[in-house]
Structure 1
Amino acid sequence: MSVVDPFRAARLVLLLRQAGVRDNRVMSAIEKTPRAVFVPPEYRDMAYDNLKVPIACGQELSLPVVVGQMLQALNVQPDHDVLEVGTGVGYQAAILSLLAKRVYTVERFRTLHEKAAETLLSLELDNIRLFHGDGMEGLQERAPFDRIILTGAISRPPYTLAQQLKSEGILVAPVEKDGSQQINVYKRVGNQVEKLTTLGASKFLPLIIGTAREL
């Protein structure tokens, strides 16, 4: 993996702790992931700051602290298969690759999909599979998944997508309702999907839909 600035990465871990992220595996994975390689050159100086960063196609790289909070709630284990809906530039997929057995990630914008593939290949992360298309359809041919995470906001609870979870599987998603948005945590129990908790308010861009194809 590309070299990480140790001082700035350690400062980012401190910010994670202050925000309530206590999972050592999550903090270690974020510390080891070189966020700078995912950030456009003009924003590299702020790569390890807790800031959103504009990326291609009018999208943005999420706050590292929010990524940490969501991954902590996702509770990924080393033997898990994880589906990520919304690859973006691949930053969160890179972190997930250090936590899970396999990561499947879907991106609607081809420009982002191809850029993420290029960056992740350069980092030699070989347990990630990238798809171009509509992540809200899931990946039925690769289901069921132990965990599912969405990186864009949706307007209704993701019950259909959650049907691709294994029993006791967890899904984390930003959900917008009545003009406000919050990050919800769901769990599949039998054939039902239960909302476990809310992590708090969020400001994610809406998730874009399309049709999934593997790179």
Structure 2
Amino acid sequence: MANAPSFEETQGLRDAMVERQIRGRGISDERLLNSMRQVPRHMFVDEDLRHRAYDDSALPIAAGQTISQPYIVARMIAAAEIGPQDRVLEVGLGSGYAAAVMSRMSAQVFAIDRIPELVERAREILAELGYDNIKVCTGDGTSGWPEMAPFDVIVASAGAPQVPPALLSELAPGGRLVIPVGDEGLQRLLLVRRVGPDAFEESELEPVRFVPLIGEHGWSADPGA
């Protein structure tokens, strides 16, 4: 990380990303826009891709995963309507970038990923940046994080074949779940809101493409299974 450009050196790139890619596409939540101006996305990508960190595209990270396009990160977070006192669960920590953005908007973020390599790297970056209201762990995100539930917001950063029941059960009253659902190539981004003890309202946002959400209540890690 010693070769990373400074926060100040990249501020103009973040400002341009927010104005062109985020606000320019109709997202106007100032708390979200300010958070994306603050979080240095280049710290969450490999050194040889840092020159593309603020591009309008997803980028590869370790273990065959991706860091999502900035607009998609913003779209999901905006749909979740995160408040300053909210407790947030992210399923699919990945690079740690989305968790970092949400941490600037909420009381606490809990993030889980099945790939230890990604969890350890994200933990190091988040600690270096001083983002101390994020707790991360390795595990099966399709089962959520029951020990830390309930959550006001759950954001799943990988595509599931259906909405995992465990995630619904971990939503607080009035809680919001944002999750891509569909096949392994194309999904629909859904917003699910808990409106009663056993009642949920679902709305469809837009088509998206995410890596598969693998786990007991998602896709199998073995393609032949």
TM-score normalised by length of structure 1: 0.93
**Residue 38 of structure 1 contacts residue 90 of structure 1 at CA under 8 Å; is this kept in 2?**
yes
Give the structure 2 partner of residue 24 of structure 1.
30
Q: CA deviation at 1:91?
A: 0.4
Extract unaligned runs of 5+ from structure 2: 1-5, 217-225
Give the structure 2 partner of residue 140 of structure 1.
146
Aligned residue runs from structure 1 range 84-163, under 5 A: 84-163=90-169
- Determine helix, strand or coil for the equivalent of 2:14: helix
Give the structure 1 partner of residue 49 of structure 2.
43
Counterpart amino acid of 1:176? G
The answer as to 2:207 corresponding to 1:201 is: yes
Extract unaligned runs of 5+ from structure 1: 211-215
Aligned residue runs from structure 1 range 10-21, under 5 A: 10-14=15-19, 15-21=21-27
Aligned residue runs from structure 1 range 173-188, under 5 A: 173-177=179-183, 180-188=186-194
The answer as to 2:72 corresponding to 1:66 is: yes
- Determine helix, strand or coil for the equivalent of 2:83: coil
- Aligned counterparts of 2:44 and 2:33: Cα–Cα separation in 1: 18
Q: CA offsets per residue over residues 80-120 of structure 1, 9 Å max, x none?
A: 10000000010011101101100000011011010000100
Give the structure 2 partner of residue 55 of structure 1.
61
**Residue 92 of structure 2 contacts residue 113 of structure 2 at CA under 8 Å; is this kept in 1?**
yes
- Determine helix, strand or coil for the equivalent of 1:141: helix
**Residue 185 of structure 2 contacts residue 209 of structure 2 at CA under 8 Å; is this kept in 1?**
no
Q: CA offsets per residue over residues 162-208 of structure 1, 9 Å max, x none?
A: 11011110000000159641100000111234343222000001012
Identity, in percent, stands at 35
Residues 180 and 39 from structure 1, CA distance in 2 versus in 1: closer, same or farther, beyond 3 angstroms? closer
TM-score normalised by length of structure 2: 0.89
RMSD: 1.7
Q: CA offsets per residue over residues 127-177 of structure 1, 9 Å max, x none?
A: 000110101111111111111000000001233311101111000000015
Q: CA offsets per residue over residues 58-78 of structure 1, 9 Å max, x none?
A: 000000000001100001011
Residues 97 and 178 from structure 1, CA distance in 2 versus in 1: closer, same or farther, beyond 3 angstroms? closer
Counterpart amino acid of 1:151? S
- Aligned counterparts of 1:153 and 1:132: Cα–Cα separation in 2: 18
Taking CA–CA contacts closer than 8 Å with sequence separation of 6 or more, which of the two structures ends up with the larger relative contact order? Answer: 1
Counterpart amino acid of 1:150? A
Residues 103 and 178 from structure 1, CA distance in 2 versus in 1: closer, same or farther, beyond 3 angstroms? closer
